[in-house]
Each structure stands twice: as C-alpha cells, then as structure tokens.
Structure 1
C-alpha cells in the first residue's frame, strides 16, 4: 500500500465487460452470465490487497462487526480492502494480476477453480444508507440485470472481517450452475464510505460453494 488514503468525491461505477455469450441460470430463476472482466472505476488511488501476515493499523472507531446494520456506524473515511491470504498458499497462483481498476484473479494450480476479487468505489451506482439494498445493486451491476431480480434470487452470506475464519461481514450472494460447472458471486457495499467489494468463485465442477468458503476464510475484509 503506498501513500495515505485521501478521501475524494466518488464516481459512478462503470462496467466495461459484457456478459458471457450464453445465459446461465442462477438460483431463484434469474438467468444471466458471469461478466468477462472486472469493473472499471475512477478512484483517488489504486487499492492493493493487504497480506494477511502484516499488521494493519485501524484508524478511527470502526465497528467490531459489519452486519448490514453495522455499516451505518462505519466512518465515511474508512478504507475497505481485501486481505490477501492466497499469495502464500501453494494451492493457488495469480492468473490475472491487478488490472489497475481494483480487480485481480487467483486460480487453483490444478486448474479447477478461479477466485476473482474486486474492490473499489461505487457510490453513485448504489442505494444510499442501506447496505443490504446497495449490495444487491452491486450484484445487479456485476450481472447486468435489475436489482429486483437479484433481490429475488440472492441469499445472505458472510465474509471474514479483519482476520480470517469468522463470519462478521454480511454480504449478498447468488449461485449458479450449468453443465457441471458451478459458481458463487458474493458482494458487499458500504454506503457510508462509498466502497464495494465482490468475489466470484467459478469451478469446473460442483465445488464452488465449498471453495468460496475456503477463500473467504483466508481473505478477510479489512476496514481501517
């Protein structure tokens, strides 16, 4: 991480990728596709993942948990980013490095799954003052569909918070499968800071949900 975090006006999240050519069904009867690339945002600086073996200085009074309701207590200047626990995991390797827009992808070394991370700012694209609704908005933007369809199909889930192995950051997620391939897309937005994160786990087999759990356990959301 380089330089101090300087809050600046947040800009509209602009997605540059089209959905995959063939529509694929998600749970809850919503049909859409996983996007081919990461969103592009304008931000004051590129946010890089934090190695989980490095201490993180917490600035201000961030909540001890981040339920959707706890998001209202998050100071507006809080920095939200992924902790990176896969960089030292021999079962995973970088298959797409940081693209400069907050996105990067790890892949299992056996080629069975990918884990695509994104973090950035999305204030203008999201419902204000309601982290649950704005997380559905973020999922809708990722999937290029409407928020009502996402809300009907999505379920609550959780990311880890500050350290791995807990379920202290609420998120919204959708799952899908086609021809033996499975995936989970999970997202959380933080309307007080305008920040958002998402994670897409895509597997050539039935294991996306269990792999998502593994990835979440080792890659916490860090607020500071």
Structure 2
C-alpha cells in the first residue's frame, strides 16, 4: 500500500470511530411501488441488479444506503442493548457466538476503489497491517434488499484459533461515502455455519 493510501486508512479509522446513523432496518416494504408492466398489461420481468465493486463507482453521492438484518426475529439470537448510533449486536441464546453490525460514513477514501476502501476498513477495524492482511482477504456477497436475487459484493476476512473464530465482512461505497460492517465471533468451533447464517440474514438497501 503506498503512502497516500496509508494516509487514507488512518482517515478511515477516524471516520469509523465517529460513525453516525441509526440502527433501524431498511424500509419494510420496498416493493410497494407498482411493478412495471408490458403493453399487454402483464408484469414485465426484471433483471437482478447486483452491486459489484466496479458498479459502486457510478453511485451518486446522495445515494441512500442502509443495512438491516433478520436476527431480531430469530429465536436462536437475542439482541444486546446499545446506545451507540449506527451500531447494534446480538448474542446466540446458547452464548456461543456474537454478531455485531455497524453502518455510517466512510470518511475520505481519496482515489480508492470500493474494493480497496473495503480492504482499508477491514485493516482499520482489525488493527492488522494492510500488507499482511491483503492475501488473506476474500470476496463475498450480501443479499440486496430491493431484490432477493441480487447481491452486494463485499470483502471478508476470517481467522480461527482452536475453537475460537472471527469473521468480518465489509462493503465500502467510496462514491457515496458510506460503509457497512458485520462481524461474527464464535468460541464453539462453528464459526463457518453461524457466519453463513448471519450473512444470509443481512440485507443492504441502495436507493
């Protein structure tokens, strides 16, 4: 990572510490608008709209992005009270895992792409050296709230020691100055299964 990009990582750290917003889920009924129809009156088929890292560059700065989850209605999870804006979390009822969510302004990402900014947020959040972290990162995807068949690309990092495991999944939207972060921690050796469940119940809304 060059010196300019390293500087932006530190700017991102400061922005993440002061993250703002609310923990509300995305709008409850994005499908309320009438579906497009053909000349014969039939509902026109629509193509899933994936939000790749590259397509994020075309987002307008005023794009509204938010994140919601379905763990609050899942009997396997219990909500942990939080007064921090833009942050909320849950614990498994068997106390083996915890999941935390954070959303808010990204900070000055400079000329970083969404992929690069996502990697920088992971480095800033975990405290790992960006150069050491880079080869350990993988691509993943969140469901897109507006279309369950579409996805929002993210970057993720996972590590485990004995039965303890940790996953962080991040998507930064440099053009819209926003980021979403999900972390999952388990001490029962079942991180992969639990993390897959948490990510499948997390949705990103982009309007």
TM-score grouping bracket, smaller chain normalisation = 0.7 to 0.9
CA RMSD in angstroms comes to 2.5
Asked if 1:168 is matched to 2:151, the reply is yes
2:106 to 122, 126, 133: 122
1:67 aligns with 2:52: yes
Deviation of residue 84 (structure 1)? 2.4
In structure 1, how many angstroms separate the alpha carbons of the residues matched to 2:147 and 2:162?
A: 32
What whole-Å deviation, never above 9, does each CA across 1:47-102 have from its counterpart, x for those lacking one?
323167x11389xxxx92111111112221112211121111111111242412x2
Structure 1: any 5+ residue segments left out of the alignment?
1-11, 17-38
Equivalent residues of 1:164, 1:217 under 8 A apart: no
Q: Equivalent residue for 2:69?
A: 84
- Against the structure 1 CA distance between its residues 141 and 127, is the aligned structure 2 distance closer, same or farther, given a 3 Å change threshold? farther
Q: Distance in 2 between matches of 1:190 and 1:200?
A: 18
Would you tell me which structure has more helix in proportion to its own residues? 2
- Per the alignment, residue 126 of structure 2 pairs with 143
Match runs of 1:1-224 below 5 Å: 12-14=11-13, 39-41=16-18, 43=20, 46-50=21-25, 54-56=28-30, 64-100=49-85, 102-124=86-108, 126-162=109-145, 168-224=151-207
Larger radius of gyration: 2
Secondary structure at the counterpart of residue 115 of structure 2: helix
> Is the CA contact (8 Å cut-off) linking 2:105 and 2:178 kept in structure 1?
yes
Query: d(CA) in 2 for partners of 1:172 and 1:103?
Result: 19
Q: TM-score, normalization: structure 1? A: 0.72
User: What TM-score do you get using the length of structure 2 for normalisation?
Assistant: 0.78
The whole-number CA distance in structure 2 between the counterparts of 1:119 and 1:132 is: 17
Equivalent residue pairs, number: 182
Within 1, Cα distance between the matches of 2:13 and 2:156?
A: 21
For structure 2, list consecutive stretches of 5 or more residues without a partner in the other structure. 1-10, 33-47
Distance 2:75 2:19 in 1: 33
Deviation at 1:146, TM superposition (A): 3.1
